[in-house]
Each structure stands twice: as structure tokens, then as C-alpha cells.
Amino acid sequence: MFRSRNVASAVATAVAAITVLAGTPAHAGTPPGPQLSLDLDRAEIHQSIDGFGYSIAFQRATLVHNLSEAKRAEVLDLLLDRRKGAAPTILRLGIGSSTTDVYDNMLSIQPTDPGGPAATPNYQWDGWDGGQVWYAKEARKRGINRFYADAWSAPGYMKDNGTDANGGSLCGLSGVTCASGDWREAYARYLVQYAKFYWQEGIRIDEIGFTNEPDWTAPYASMRFTPAQAAEFVKVLGPVAAQAGVKLVCCDSFGWQQSDAYAQAIEADPEARRHLDLFTGHGYASPSDRPLPTTARTWMTEWAPSSTADGWNEAWDSGKGTDGIAVAQRIHDTLAKADASAFVYWLGSSRGATAALVQVDNATDSYRVSSRLYAFAAYSRFVRPGAVRIGVDGAPAGLAVSAYRNADGTEVVQVINTSTEAVRTTVDLRRPTAYLTDSTHKLEKVDGLVSGHGAHPTVELPPRSLTTLVGGHPGRG
């Protein structure tokens, strides 16, 4: 946040003080203000963590594939590697519905009407799927093994508007009558067949979703469901998915709060609730900053800041919504306020004026990396699947703090210092390693930030930064 000053000298003094403080090693002096204490409440257990991921839908994977071999390897490391990259543990795939395989489209596995909903399916599989098969295999090589496939729309011939774009509804749903008949069962089989094609490629689809932003009409692939219709279709797809051994996901609403109506409709229907494994929502119309009214595990499955005004932005802290620190704050809110078990960013890579983690330019065989990638990686590298979020006490205004215990016993404390001053605090982690992400550090190990020994070492938090502390339980050595 920018603050105006009435006196020019005050600006110079304040900026100089912040600059000196940010560049001063921990052992060189004591930041002003009282010393604080961050205490972990290990008995306070919140949600379990399934992981962090991003989408590779709409041909975005092909951008990476079409780079030269050397550049492709570099970008794959940045987007997938556990030690030096984004380290995702979830990939979100797009289930196609279009009749053409061009950029910004996703080709259907049955692009033409087989002759009605009761006709023998005429599925087609190219083993490529807009580059997603290739990308998923590259991810598997690096230990990533959780894949969530989601449909933006059914093929146009299954809908009342005759196209996979511009909204429309699935034929056969309550209130939707089509001359071609009831396509609900055929659409359910279509979705499961998509998963089966991936299984034959050696990629297991873990979760499958039948709708993306059912409350939003887009000029590209999109399809409307009311909350009642979504609950209705869960009961159609649920048995088909269960028989195939795939988990059912719903409903990827356009905003987190807008997801309430869908959650309530499914919770109110015992049969629908029995079939639902995971509830999902997006973060556009409203942010993911409070729990959803469902007993199902929740994931935030799509959000990215708007790049319309910002354009491509690599900055950590320039006051724009596409800054790295802004993305870090959204991840924190999703986990610590919304109790979500996963954070799935919109795109790993894209082109032009994008808010993706990496920008790819095939024409020049080049790429650029945003600070958003390092904000994402600060959580994804260290908070691993199977972790649980635990309580943390003592965080004052200006610090956004969350704490996690991994399955191997390591503990992670994430601290975002949103103030313009450095903060000194103790934390009850034994021998923590500090990784710093700010305007001059890209998730880098910084030894000088931690001082002292024992169960409560001192940590200095630079202004406008994310500090990731990784340590052990005091009782575990």
C-alpha cells in the first residue's frame, strides 16, 4: 500500500530507513520495536493439506513443449521441480468439449454426435490432449502423481444451445428440454471415459469434475448449472464415477462465497452428499477467506489476479494485484482463513500479458519468470501432502502467520510481513532454516535471519517479505 507524505524530507528519511533495515543482516543490529513471540499450538489441529497446483488447460502445455529442447528443460524445472521450481503436487487438467484443436480450445474426445444419447459412443483419443498428456508424464517423472480433471462444458450437441460456448445447459436436467433427448447419462460416461484414456497412458486421474463456474457464462467453453441441477447431476455421475474408481468433485463456482448455494444444495440432499468426495470453489467473484458450509473437504481450484491492467508483472511488491506478495497473501488466506486443503492456481504458463507463473514466447524461444512462482513455491515445496495446519499464537497486526506439521514430523511456519518495517520475533521451532522471498530474494536460504539456539530462536522478518521457517518439533531433536 502506498502512503502519501506532506514533507519531501520525510519520504527520503523513511525510504532510507527501510532500505537500510531491509539490507542489514540479522547480526548487525536490532530492529526497532518490541520483541514478539510466535508460539505453536500443536494440539490445535485444523485441516489436512492435499497440496498445491495449477492448471495446464487450454493448450498452455503446448507452449512449453514447443520451446527448444534446452529452454523446454529449463521451464519444466521451473514449473515442476521440487528443489528449484514451483514444486506442485496437483495438476488440473481440462476435459475438452470443442470440435477443433487450436490454441484456447480443448478438443473433445467425441467431437461429433454419435447419433443421440443412447447411441454407441464414438470416442476418439489422440494421446496428446492439447499437450496435457505429455506434460502429465513429465510431471510423473518428477514425482507428481495427483491429477484433477475438470470439464468446462459438455460437447455442444449435448446442450440446449447447441455449442460448447456461451453457457447453455445439459439436456435432460430439470427444466432443460431438448429435441435430442436426455444426455445426462451419456455425459457421465463421457467424463469417466476421459479418465480411462489417461489411465491407459499411465496417468491416473484421481478426481473428476463435471462443471467449471456453473454460475458464469463465458464466450468460450462454459455451461450453466443451478445449485439444484448440480446436486441432481452429482447423483447421476456419482455411481458411474464410483464404479470406475474415480472421486467426484463439484462445483468450481465463480467465487468462493458464491459456492455457498451449491454446497448447501448438495448437503441438503443425502444421496448427492454421499457421492461427493470433494467440494471446490474459485476465488474471482469473492476471495477464499472463510470456510464453506459443507462437511466435505474443500479445495480452492482456480484463481489468478487480473493482468488486464497490470500486464506481465514480475515484481514482488510494486503495489499491483499481480505482485508476488499479493499472491502469497491469497495463499495464506485460502489456507488459514478458508480452511481449504488445496490451493490450485489458474495457470502455470501462458503467453503475452498473463498472470501465469511463467511467461512463454515461442516466437523468440524465450521465457520469463514472475515472483508469483516463488510465492507459490514457498508453500508448495515445504508444506507437503499429508501435512496438517496447526495453531499459532502471538501474531500481531502486520504479520500473516500460519503453521503446518508434515507427516515426517517437520514443521513449517510461514510468515508474511506486510508492514514496511522489519519485525523481530521468537518462534518455538528447534534449529529452523529460514528461506526468504522478497524483492531481492527468490525463496533463498538466508542464514543470518535466525539467531540464538534452543526451542525459541530469534527470527528477523524483513519488511514486505515472506519468510518460510522449516524446523523440527522441540521434543524431537
For helices 259-267 and 227-244, angle between their N-to-C axes, nearest 10 degrees: 60
Note whether 365 and 428 are same-domain residues.
no
Rounded to an integer, what distance in angstroms lies between the CA atom of residue 214 and that of residue 153? Answer: 9
Residue 5 lies in a domain: no
Structural domain containing residue 373 = 50-382
pTM: 0.92
The per-residue pLDDT for 27 is 36
Note whether 302 and 335 are same-domain residues.
yes
Neighbours of 132 (CB within 10 A): 29
Note whether 398 and 305 are same-domain residues.
no
Rounded to an integer, what distance in angstroms lies between the CA atom of residue 143 and that of residue 87? Answer: 10
List of residues 6+ apart from 225 with CB closer than 8 A: 169, 170, 173, 211, 214, 233, 251
Beta strand pairing call for 399-405 and 411-417 = antiparallel
Note whether 192 and 171 are same-domain residues.
yes
Half-sphere exposure of 220 (CA within 13 A, CB side): 14
Per-residue pLDDT of the chain (477 residues; tens, 9 = 90+): 323 323 333 333 333 333 333 333 333 344 545 469 999 999 999 999 999 999 999 999 999 999 999 999 999 999 999 999 999 999 999 999 999 989 999 999 999 999 999 999 999 999 999 999 999 999 999 999 999 999 999 999 999 999 999 999 999 999 999 999 999 999 999 999 999 999 999 999 999 999 999 999 999 999 999 999 999 999 999 999 999 999 999 999 999 999 999 999 999 999 999 999 999 999 999 999 999 999 999 999 999 999 999 999 999 999 999 999 999 999 999 999 999 999 999 999 999 999 999 999 999 999 999 999 999 999 999 999 999 999 999 999 999 999 999 999 999 999 999 999 999 999 999 999 999 999 999 999 999 999 987 889 999 999 999 999 999 754 343
Domain of residue 358, CATH code: 3.20.20.80
Note whether 350 and 273 are same-domain residues.
yes
Residue finishing a domain among 332, 361, 382: 382
Neighbours of 472 (CB within 10 A): 15
Contact present, 121 and 190 (Cβ < 8 Å): yes
The per-residue pLDDT for 142 is 97
Contact present, 344 and 54 (Cβ < 8 Å): yes
Residue finishing a domain among 324, 349, 382: 382
